Amino acid sequence: MYIVIGFCKCGTTSLTTYFSDNGLHTIHHGDYEVRPHGHTWYVGKIIDRNKKENKKLLSDVPKSIQAFTQIDYQGRNPIIPQLTDVPLFIEQYPNAKFILNIRPVDKWINSINRWQVGGGTLRQSWIKSGLPYLPKSVGEKDEEIREWYNGHNKRMKELFIDIPERLFVLDLENINIEKLNEFCDLHNVDKFPWKKRKNS
């Protein structure tokens, strides 16, 4: 199992293509085809519910899924499990491998300033909601959102200091496809499949 633990707008669509091209059942944000309860389900909402019910975080998710490329839910009430729940993922899924996807912070800020969700931008939805390490109304200043982004990436790297074999840091500005393939033990892709979404 592979779980992407960086922020959205950091190549998650391309990672979805990467895993899918390697033949893995891959989920990005939610499943728009399999609708077990008659509606689209979202990974972030499932994780949040399971945590509250003291269940394994990925309970109720089809066992056939092998790669989760965006575990957060982005809507009017965003849920970003990777901000707080990665230690639980490590504990509950000892065979899982994790990918921390990163890009230059100012490029990321430019992207979240443009991406529309819930009647506003992604950045605005986070500022209004209040999230772990980003209290409500904090994030208007670039230095505040920059600190939040960099802080998360720093915490993730520190979390894996004693288990480095379970983490791959994917720098979108310097992708080494051979090392990514080696980490994932997947070898059907010899060039990273860039997929740029509208307004990214």
Q: Please give the residue range of the domain that contains residue 171.
A: 2-184
Give the phi and the psi of residue 190 in degrees, each rounded to 5.
Answer: -110, 0
Instruction: Count Cβ atoms below 10 Å from residue 18 Cβ, excluding itself.
Output: 30
Q: What burial class does residue 128 get, using C-beta atoms within 10 Å of its C-beta: 0-12 exposed, 13-18 middle, 19+ buried?
A: middle
Residue 200 domain flag: no
Residue 157 domain flag: yes
Q: Token pair of 111, please?
A: 């992207």
CATH number at residue 127: 3.40.50.300
Residue 25 domain flag: yes
pLDDT cut 90: percent of the chain above it: 80
Residue 191 domain flag: no
pLDDT band of residue 196 (cuts 50, 70, 90) is low
Residue 109 domain flag: yes
Residue 98 domain flag: yes
The pTM of this model reads: 0.92
Question: What average pLDDT does this structure show over 89-98?
Answer: 98
| Cβ proximity of 167 and 2 under 8 Å | no
Pairing state between β 167-171 and 97-102: parallel
Say what the pLDDT of residue 32 is: 57
The answer to whether residue 149 scores a pLDDT higher than 90 is yes
Residue 193 domain flag: no
Residue 192 domain flag: no
pLDDT band of residue 40 (cuts 50, 70, 90) is low
Domain count of the chain? 1
What's the Rg (C-alpha) of the chain? 16
What is the four-CA torsion angle of 174, 85, 72, 3, rounded to 10 degrees?
A: 50
Task: State the residue for tokens 């809507």.
Answer: 75
